A and B are shown apart, each in its own frame.
Chain A
Amino acid sequence: MQFTDIIFALFLTIVFCLYWFPLRGRTVWQNTLLLTASYIFYGWWDWRFLGLIFLTSLTTFISAQYARGRYGKLLTTANILLNLGILICFKYLGFFTENLGKLLSLFGLGLDWFTIEILVPVGISFYTFQAIAYSVDVYKCRITACRNPLAFFTFISYFPQLVAGPIERASRLLPQITGIRHWNRQLASSGMRMIMFGLMKKVCIADILAIYVGRIFSASEIDPIMVLAGGVLFSLEIYCDFSAYSEIARGVSRLLGIELMINFKFPYFSRNIPEFWRRWHISLMEWFRDYLYIPLGGNRNGKIRTAINTLIIFTLSGLWHGAAWNFVLWGVYWGACLVAAKFLFKQQVSKRDSTYGDIPAMVATFGVTSLGFYFFRCTSQADIIAGVHALWLYAAVFILIWAFSLLMVRYNILRKIIFVTFSALFLGIACYIAFTRWIYLLKFWWLIPGALVCVLEWEARNSDYPLQSVSSDEWKRLTLYVVCVLFIAISEPTEMTFIYFQF
């Protein structure tokens, strides 16, 4: 059951109505409903994996009860190892044995007798990390162990964020689950706005881009222009896909009176690499920072140690995404970029709001990002090699765009001339197409919601979420909402799952 399925809309309607009408104010019953709904939601994917999430919830709950006792360290470690073991078994065993086999074959040895094909449970990386974070927090006395098994099981399996995050912290989510939820119409309305916007991004943009990206990466040979197009388009696809899921998850949760953390803060409007990693998949990066980077020493032991720690974190982050070398390469790439950005270019996260003057920096950052995502999407060694060979084109194109945007930002008169010229050109081309090749306008209808998303996200780039501060005029708001609903209703049925479900 995906967020974009009609069956989810029916499911959510039933859960919402039961939650707020007969069960309002009864936390225990509401949590029972949430737990049941979460297990139905997860079981809909594959009922065989319900046992795993139950096991993770059970072992984590029990070990946390005794985490501060005499054998606390042992129990916590055992729980972490068990859950990591399950994760490794399901997600990485095939990858490790395949590569071990290749390594052994170099020495004339073989591992042919051992082959394994395991189905990876949806969302296992997310709820496992959530459980591990809870275990560590309890052991380190950051939070007290939850004594309520119902609340705890609901916390681990909470369906809006179960299969693709955000990876919530117990300190944020558990109090909301154990506490009374009060109906708040403004919160619910904002939740609906998030759901609507997320759906539009997913079905009108991400799913369409996926078709074009799929064609590029399934070509027998990828030339440099295809590398550039593939990187840029996939960057847009994965952002629209993943951020859409997070927004829908937050929106659904707001309908239930529960606030989830922000997972994406308009990352493609980042002005440098450090800022990008404060805006992209925030929950995962915070997890790695708090549970790996800081225990490894963080940035407290000199520049070299900091650089090594950064590389380790990003390599593991790449591996978290999947059991394949392209993900590892992506992680190493980003580790190297972040180290270079911090130590060579002295880039820091800026606290001020972004403005039009930051566009050149955003362009440069996007160039680095999209190249990384090209490698992330690669499905073969040939694709990776093609990407390396296309580095010159990538650099050339983005340097040109960066330089152009810099001139536009700095020189007012130049901006006006270019604006008038491009507007006239655009109008001329648009009229020509409208009168002679109008069917192509139909073909690229999705550029309209795409442009709408760009504009709305730019307007909201210093806010919490898009549509946060829509027009105060009720008719303008209603028109915007109806337009969004129209685009969602006529979206093309491409049957694409959310990308991050595979992690």
Chain B
Amino acid sequence: MNAVSKSILTFILRTLIVISPIILILLGWYIWADPFKVIRHYDCYYPEPAEYPARIGINKGIVTFTNFEDRIKEGHKYDSFIFGSSISCYYDAATWSALIKDSLRRTCFAKGNENHISVNPYHFDSSGESLISLAKKVKYLDDNGIIIRHALIILDPVIMAANPSDSPGSIDPPQLHKNIFETIGYHYTFFRAATNADFFKSYIPGMVWNKPVKNGHNMVFERQPIKYDPLTNQETLQLWDSIIRTNPEKFYSRNPLNDSPIVYTERSPVLSEKKKEALERIAGIFSRHATDYHIIIGPNRAKITLNKSDLAEMQLIFESGRVHDFSTSHAPVLEADTMLYDNTHYRPPMAEIMMRQVYGSNAAE
């Protein structure tokens, strides 16, 4: 090796000596702490809120898939899935099951055959779920030989505009990665999220005081006191539901809502070619599985409604009577504060109203 090559290598080595210590320290901390629970497998992703008030907000998609795989290994067999963003979390799986059974009893089975009706629900959701990621999830189930007998897709005119994101809260979990580069990008995203000053600003005082602290631009800790059912991947907010029932003024003084406007705003079209293709893939898989499915486009506090051309497109892609747009008709219900946890997420009673209307049932009180 000549002198110039040696000099260049020496330069590279010295640069690495300067850069490496910091990177290795941060990497070491990240691997040891694993604050976003992406490196190791955990039996419990949602510890008890009362015991662990300072819980880092984690990627729901990772929990959904990891928990699903764990339950499958235990022998659970799921055949009914609720898809969507975090809004879909508050569609109660048990209520949905009951409505499906009721609907099946009324439409398909003679009274003597009730014992053969079986619905095993699972929430297959992610935060900020885009239509493209949703299609990937449906495909994942199809590729893994899971029969989708029943499906409920929960959408919202605002969320439908979302595109696949690289943010820690919304990035696709490893089970959906197509190549090693996506997996590297995934781990790099969480490494950066866990080793930047904005994270430490909240994390350090949060750990010291053992309570959620917002000291930076982004929220690090989970605000919601989530009760988690691993069998259905269902999240409930029993503590908040209790406070809202008994003392709504106290709850909403701490979690104020925006005023609901008088006028409705029709969203501009959001279904790009890629999103239409994603919906067509979903429709194709449901067709092959002979899935009994419904798509609910729910309302929101801001009274932003689904664009008519988007609705028409969806009705073309999916079978008749499968797409239910409640973004206009049910928006007045959300004028009542007690129907909402926050400006984006409506509570289970609102979800139940729409499910009952879709499945046309008065049973399962």
Hey, which bits of chain A sit against chain B, CB under 8 A? 6, 20-21, 24, 183, 185, 188-189, 192, 211, 438-439, 442-443, 445-446, 478, 481-482, 485-486, 489-494
Whether B18 pairs with A481 at a CB distance below 8 angstroms is yes
Contact assessment for A185 and B19 in the assembled complex, using a CB-CB cutoff below 8 Å = no
B196 touches A443 (CB 8 A): no
Interface-located stretch among B39-47, B211-219, B295-303: B211-219
B196 to A183, Cβ gap below 8 A?
Answer: no
- Which of A6, A20, A211, A438 has the largest count of B CB atoms less than 10 A from its CB? A20
Write out, one digit per residue, whether chain B residues 197-240 have a CB within 8 A of any chain A CB (1) or not (0): 11011001100000001011100000000000000000000000
Chain B residue numbers with a CB within 8 Å of A21 are 5, 8
Are A485 and B18 interface neighbours, CB within 8 A?
Answer: yes
CB-CB under 8 A from A188, the residues of chain B are 11
Offer 26 A-B interface pairs, CB within 8 angstroms, sorted by A: A21-B8, A183-B4, A183-B8, A185-B7, A185-B10, A188-B11, A189-B11, A211-B217, A439-B201, A439-B213, A439-B215, A442-B197, A442-B200, A442-B201, A442-B204, A478-B18, A485-B19, A485-B22, A486-B22, A489-B195, A490-B195, A492-B196, A492-B216, A493-B193, A493-B198, A494-B217
B197, A490: Cβ atoms under 8 Å? yes
B7–A493 CB distance below 8 A: no
A24 to B15, CA, bound (A): 20
Complex contact B201–A445 (CB within 8 A): yes
Bound CA span A74–B15, Å: 52
Docked Cα-Cα span, A489 to B201, in Å, equals 15
CB-based nearest B residue for A445: B197
Residues of A within 8 A of B364 (CB): none
Please name all residues of chain B whose beta carbon is closer than 8 Å to the beta carbon of A443 when the two chains form the complex. 201, 215-216
Contact A491 B197 (CB under 8 A): yes
Chain B residue at minimum C-beta to C-beta distance from A195: B15
| CB pair A490 B196 closer than 8 Å | yes
* B75 at interface, CB cutoff 8 A: no
Residue B250 interfacial (CB < 8 Å): no
Chain A residues whose C-beta falls within 8 Å of the C-beta of B201 in the assembled complex: 439, 442-443, 445
Asked if B21 is an interface residue, CB under 8 A from chain A, the answer is yes
Contacts of A481 in B (CB 8 A): 18
The answer to the question of B188 belonging to the interface, with a C-beta cut-off of 8 Å to chain A, is yes
**Does B26 interact with chain A (Cβ within 8 Å)?**
yes
| Minimum Cβ distance to chain A for residue B131 (Å) | 23
Q: Which 4 pairs from chain A and chain B are nearest by CB?
A: A492-B198, A442-B201, A439-B205, A490-B197
Task: Answer whether residue B76 sits at the interface, using C-beta atoms and an 8 A cutoff.
Answer: no
Other than the given A442-B200, A492-B217, 15 more pairs (CB < 8 A) read A24-B4, A183-B7, A188-B11, A189-B11, A189-B14, A438-B205, A439-B201, A439-B204, A439-B215, A443-B215, A445-B201, A482-B22, A486-B22, A490-B195, A491-B196
A489 touches B22 (CB 8 A): yes
For the complex, would chain A's binding face be called helix, strand, loop or mixed by DSSP majority?
Answer: helix
Interface centre among B11, B197, B201 (most CB of A within 10 A): B197
Residues of A within 8 A of B192 (CB): 493
Instruction: Tally B residues with Cβ within 8 Å of A.
Output: 29
B213 → A minimal CB distance (Å): 7
Nearest to A19 among chain B residues (CB) is B8
* Chain A residues near B353 (CB-CB < 8 A): none
Closest to B201 in A: A442
Q: Which residues of A contact B176 (CB under 8 A)?
A: none
CB within 8 Å of A: which of B154-201? 188, 192-193, 195-198, 200-201
B22 touching A6 by the CB < 8 A rule? no
Chain A residues, Cβ within 8 Å of B196 = 490-493
How far, in Å, is A421 (CB) from chain B's closest CB?
Answer: 31
CB of B196 to closest CB in A, whole Å: 5
Which residues in B have their C-beta under 8 angstroms from that of A185? 7-8, 10-11
B23 within 8 A of A: yes
Name the interface residues of B1-51: CB closer than 8 Å to any CB of A: 4-5, 7-8, 10-11, 14-15, 18-19, 21-23, 26
Check B215–A489 contact: CB distance below 8 A. no
Q: Which residues of A contact B200 (CB under 8 A)?
A: 442, 490
Complex: A20 Cα to B12 Cα, angstroms = 12
A44 to chain B, nearest CB (A): 15
Asked if A492 and B197 sit within 8 Å, CB to CB, the answer is yes
Closest to B218 in A: A492
CA distance A20 to B10 in the complex (A): 13
Q: Which of A20, A21, A439 has the most CB atoms of chain B within a 10 A radius of its CB? A: A439
Contact between A442 and B215, CB atoms less than 8 A apart: yes
- Complex: A489 Cα to B27 Cα, angstroms: 11
Find chain B residues with CB under 8 A from A438 CB. Answer: 205
On chain B, the residues within 8 Å of A6 by CB distance are 188
Contact residues of B between 131 and 152, Cβ < 8 Å to A = none
Measured between beta carbons, the chain B residues less than 8 angstroms from A189 are 11, 14
CB < 8 Å neighbour of A442 from B10, B18, B19, B205: B205
Contact of B197 among A192, A211, A439, A446 (CB under 8 A): A446
Q: How far is the CA of A485 from the CA of B205 in the complex (A)?
A: 24
Specify which chain A residues have a CB less than 8 angstroms from the CB of B26 in the assembled complex.
489-490
Contacts of A211 in B (CB 8 A): 217
Q: Which residues of A contact B195 (CB under 8 A)?
A: 489-490
Chain B residue with minimal CB distance to A442?
B201
**Using Cβ atoms and an 8 Å threshold, which residues of chain B touch A482?**
18, 21-22
Interface residues of B in 117-136 (CB under 8 A from A): none
Partner pick for A192 among B4, B8, B15, CB 8 A cutoff: B15
Query: How far apart sit A77 and B19, CA to CA, in the bound complex (Å)?
Result: 50
Q: How far is the CA of A183 from the CA of B2 in the complex (A)?
A: 12
A426–chain B nearest beta-carbon distance, Å:
22
Give Cα distance in the complex from A211 to B14, angstroms. Answer: 35
Closest CB of chain A to B348's CB: distance in Å? 35
The residue of chain A having its C-beta at the shortest distance from the C-beta of B189 within the complex is A493
For A494, what are the chain B residues with a Cβ–Cβ distance below 8 Å?
A: 217
User: Who on chain B is nearest to A440 by CB?
Assistant: B215
Q: State how many angstroms separate the Cβ of B190 from the closest Cβ of chain A.
A: 12
Query: For B193, B196, B205, which residue has the most chain A Cβ atoms within 10 angstroms?
Result: B196
Q: Which residues of B contact A478 (CB under 8 A)?
A: 18
Closest to B5 in A: A21
Whole-angstrom distance between the Cβ of A453 and the nearest chain B Cβ: 16
Smallest distance from the beta carbon of A189 to chain B beta carbons, Å? 7
- Give the complex CA separation of A482 and B10 in angstroms: 18
**Residue numbers in A under 8 Å from B10 (CB-CB):** 185
Most buried by A among B14, B22, B195: B22
| B2 to chain A: closest residue by CB | A24
The residues of A that contact B4 with a CB separation of less than 8 Å are 24, 183
How distant is the Cα of A486 from the Cα of B29 in the complex, in angstroms? 14
Q: Which residue of A lies closest to B8 (CB)?
A: A20
Distance from A460 Cβ to chain B, minimum over Cβ atoms (Å): 20
CA distance A192 to B12 in the complex (A): 10
